[in-house]
Structure 1
Amino acid sequence: MGTRPGERVMQPDYGCRLHDLVFDPMTAETEAEIEVAITRAILFFEPRIVLNSVQVADDWRAGTLRIRLEFRVRSTNARHNRVFPFYRTEGTLISAPPEPGT
């Protein structure tokens, strides 16, 4: 959701249009555009899940927008996994740092 279309090298269509809609007035049309943008991004670029629904609700008094995704994980550790972020301390071959003086 954080990648804009055109940011990925050699994948100009990859991404989601949410950034384009940030400053649009909150109308029913904008909510529908947000739902379509998220649905399209997940449908085309996230093979690990099946999207059941996208719900957009705004609270104009608080200036917030809530987006609820309901989905089902297809399987785990498929070869299409894209994992972010990467942690330095994760892994199977990580050992403790050497003690000073050893």
Structure 2
Amino acid sequence: MAFTPTQNFLGRGWSFPPTFDHFNGEVGMLEGIADIQSSLHILLTTMVGERLMQPRFGCNLEEMVFASLDTTLKTQLTDKIETAILYFEPRIDLERVFLNTDRQLEGLLLIEVDYRVRTTNSRFNFVFPFYKTEGTELLHFLTNPPQTDNAL
């Protein structure tokens, strides 16, 4: 399969986490915009220093989970995201990072990233849910345990 110059620049890579097609034994691949969206998700969920070959890759958003959501935190989050995208996602030009705080009382901050793909000049957005209450849904789990099928 021959790729056009635009497809070559946008790239093609393994899906993450890796998936496999059990019928033909191939690895799941992403290309084009799906590859960029996956790359942004990986960038925002990776801690700096987590990758041995690229120790500066990542955002360290997890270190801000317990901080109060004030103007300082919003500015720090926006700066970390903008810097990470600038250095580690060369296929796009970042247009805007917006922190949607409409659901902050639920412990959810929506990080909206508006960007333009350099080769096609097409605009897209990526919404990343940042949960500030991660791991605190234990009460829901204890009161509503998952159903199991014991008919083995």
- 2:106 alignment partner, SS class: coil
Q: Which has the higher mean CA deviation after the structures are superposed, 6-15 or 34-43?
A: 6-15
Q: Indicate the structure whose relative CO is greater, using CA pairs within 8 Å and at least 6 residues apart.
A: 1
- The SS at the match of 1:61 is helix
Give the aligned partner of residue 35 of structure 1: 78
Q: Which amino acid in 1 is paired with 2:95?
A: N
SS at structure 1 position matched to 2:94: strand
Unmatched 5+ stretches in structure 2: 1-43, 121-152
**Scaled by the length of structure 1, what TM-score is found?**
0.68
Partner of residue 2, structure 1: 45
Length, aligned pairs only: 76
TM-score normalised to the size of structure 2? 0.47
**Correspondence for 1:46:** 89
Task: Give 1 or 2: higher helix fraction.
Answer: 2
* Aligned mates of 2:66, 2:115 — CA distance in 1: 27
1:60, CA displacement in angstroms? 2.9
Taking only aligned residues, the RMSD between alpha carbons, in angstroms, comes to: 1.4
Identity within the alignment, %: 39
- For 1:12 and 1:71, how far apart are their aligned partners in 2? 25
Among 99, 106, 109, the alignment partner of 1:65 is 109
Q: Which consecutive segments of 4 or more residues in structure 1 shift more than 4 A?
A: none
